Amino acid sequence: MLALLSDYESLRLIWWVLLGVLLIGFALTDGFDLGVGALLPFVGRTDVERRVAIHTVSATWEGNQVWLVLGGGAIFAAWPALYALSFSGFYLAMFLVLFALILRPVAFKYRSKRASAAWRARWDWALFVGGAVPALIFGVAVGNVLQGVPFHFTGDLRPIYGGSLLGLLNPLALLCGLVSLAMLVAHGAAWLAFKAEGPVAERARAIGLKAALATAALFALGGLLVWAGAFGGYRVASPLPGDGPSNPLAKAVVADAGAWLANFWAHPALALVPLLGIAGPLLAALGFRTRHEGLTFLASSLGIACIIATVGLSMFPVILPSSTHPGHALTVFDASSSRATLRNMLIATVIFLPIILAYTAWVYRVLWGKVSDRDITAPGSAAY
């Protein structure tokens, strides 16, 4: 263990894996919250039905956002150059995401303050925006990363971003956005089918079936476009010492239309990951059809994890390519923090991440069970 903590290359690889784990954790937990929000106007036709949907996530959505905070914190501390470029280059897109996420707690708290149907309907649509917009924009961001982002470094390693918000909304990026939206809607529907009773669960199954099939089809289409070279690709064309200093300018990277498939050609077993990214949503669709609620949620989770992992595996070791200056791309081995920073963060993670996981598991165990109309209308029930 001590040798591992002193090996710079191993520390960088561990933090690359941990970043993927945190992103998957966010997608699996807060992802179904976003999906429920996006589904709210469509699965609930009465105020009670919409309250049933809200109550399936009302007690846990704040805790689920811990994964987003952890992911952002990990990028900031472990990959400062990635944090600086992505959060400044995608500033307007991130602002839209934050605006939508801020709507969620406001809507949760304010929708019950008045009995007016119009008042509550407006906040329900705010919850829809708070769920659908982040789900779409996160996928759009991934689509742009796959194509390459217009940035470069000055001689003193000052990052310069040359893109715009409209440039981010290109057809290929929007396709990735639709994959993200469809998979989180399906995940939210799987959660509602698992946690809700009555008409809300029935409508969620019907919508979830279509969303799961759309996820598999759109992800497969994206794979075909990667195969055809539509997303481009970038390949490191010079030695990249795993324990070298973090200097994005000390290497050569070239554009290569087949680069995003190179890792799968070199290690054929990795092809199982994108295949499961397609099989997961299809199994979820089968679960919706056969009413196997546990299978549906697990299959949806498997699909999400494998779709996200596919992106990371296809790009490795690149984490943020530059479309204008390919040689300035950020990789796992030249954009990280110092050895000491990665080591100390890993020690803290080994201590505190199991605590977070244990507490989260305990919370879900305490809140186990379905939500029905009777729970909503019972005296003393939470307002929402």
Q: What is the pLDDT of residues 52-93, one digit of tens each?
A: 999 899 888 888 888 888 888 888 889 998 888 887 778 888
Mean pLDDT, rounded, for 330-343: 91
Q: How many other β-carbons are positioned within 10 Å of the β-carbon of residue 59?
A: 13
**So what's the pLDDT on residue 167?**
76
Helices (H), the chain: 2-6, 8-43, 47-55, 61-64, 66-78, 80-89, 91-110, 117-147, 165-168, 171-195, 199-228, 262-266, 272-290, 293-315, 339-366, 373-377
Domain-embedded: residue 384: no
Task: Check: CB of residue 204 under 8 Å from CB of residue 50.
Answer: no
Task: Give the pTM.
Answer: 0.93
Domain-embedded: residue 383: no
Q: What pLDDT digit, counting tens, does each position of 142-156 carry? A: 999 999 999 989 888
Domain-embedded: residue 93: yes
Distance (Å, whole) CA 117 – CA 381: 19
Given a cut of 90, whether residue 286 has pLDDT beyond it is: yes
Given a cut of 70, whether residue 283 has pLDDT beyond it is: yes
Mean pLDDT, rounded, for 237-251: 85
Given a cut of 70, whether residue 30 has pLDDT beyond it is: yes
Quote the domain boundaries for residue 198: 2-377
Structure-token pair, residue 152 = 């470069």
Domain-embedded: residue 369: yes
Given a cut of 60, whether residue 2 has pLDDT beyond it is: no
CA 51 from chain center: how many Å? 26
Domain-embedded: residue 275: yes
Distance (Å, whole) CA 325 – CA 81: 15
Task: Check: CB of residue 143 under 8 Å from CB of residue 226.
Answer: no
**So what's the pLDDT on residue 210?**
97
Given a cut of 70, whether residue 251 has pLDDT beyond it is: yes
Burial class (CB in 10 A: 0-12, 13-18, 19+), 217: middle
**So what's the pLDDT on residue 246?**
86
Given a cut of 60, whether residue 346 has pLDDT beyond it is: yes
Mean pLDDT, rounded, for 264-281: 96
Mean pLDDT, rounded, for 296-305: 96
Lowest model confidence (mean pLDDT) among 12-16, 73-77, 222-226, 264-268: 73-77
Task: Check: CB of residue 205 under 8 Å from CB of residue 193.
Answer: yes
Q: What pLDDT digit, counting tens, does each position of 89-107 carry? A: 788 888 888 899 898 889 9
**So what's the pLDDT on residue 384?**
59
Q: Please give the DSSP secondary-structure letter assigned to residue 196.
A: B
Q: How many other β-carbons are positioned within 10 Å of the β-carbon of residue 228?
A: 9
Mean pLDDT, rounded, for 167-196: 94
Given a cut of 60, whether residue 1 has pLDDT beyond it is: no
Domain-embedded: residue 370: yes
Please give the mean pLDDT across all residues of the chain: 90
Given a cut of 70, whether residue 381 has pLDDT beyond it is: no
Counted domains in the chain: 1
Domain-embedded: residue 382: no
